Amino acid sequence: MISLPVANLAEAKFECIFGRGCDGICCQNGRPPLSPTDQARIDPILKDKILPELRPEARKTIEKMGYLSGRKKIGMPTLRVTQGWCVFFKEGCVLHKIGAREGDPYRYKPELCALFPLEKDEETGEWFVRQKGYNGEFWDLFCLDPAISKKPAAESLKDELAYAERLEAAQSQPPLSDAS
């Protein structure tokens, strides 16, 4: 049972149709920002687990220049793009696939990608579902359009909601030095 308060959860609609008419458009030129924690999860498995699964041109780009670009969003470096797609995309998110094989699809995936389309408003601290026409949504994706996606987000986003709740719980833990 999820108890995380999400501002528009009652009315939000979302259905991911990746593989059923969508090729993964949210990973096309998406350039998510990566936190130091995201990078620390990726770095140890980059060479042995991730690189062998990537598109040849994405692998070449990373080997030459790394997976982070010079661009920044919300103060953090963003992922590189090759031939119009995130370097970690190959018929789906390679980070997601590797994590899923090990029992947790979110183990290596950048936090913002794992939460999508859930987001926390930086100013108010309020969680919300990204929706066309809500909170200044700028991305014109059909899955964010409640007129097209008919599934209640409360049902379709159970995993993402549980993940957001885990993140909130981890952030509210006192540092180890204060906990004793």
CA atoms within 13 A on the CB side of 147: 5
Under rule CB under 6 A, residue 89 binds ligand SF4: yes
Question: How far apart are the C-alpha atoms of 55 and 154, rounded to whole Å?
Answer: 34
Under rule CB under 6 A, residue 146 binds ligand SF4: no
Contact 150, 143 (CB under 8 A): no
Q: Which residue type does 133 have?
A: G
32 vs 77, which CB is nearer to ligand SF4? 32
Contact 95, 42 (CB under 8 A): yes
Q: Which residue type does 83 have?
A: Q
9 vs 81, which CB is nearer to ligand SF4? 81
Under rule CB under 6 A, residue 99 binds ligand SF4: no
**Window of 13-21, 25-33, 43-51, 126-134 that interacts with ligand SF4 by CB under 6 A:** 25-33
Under rule CB under 6 A, residue 68 binds ligand SF4: no
Residues that bind ligand SF4 (CB under 6 A): 27, 30, 32, 79, 86, 88-89, 93, 95, 109-110, 113
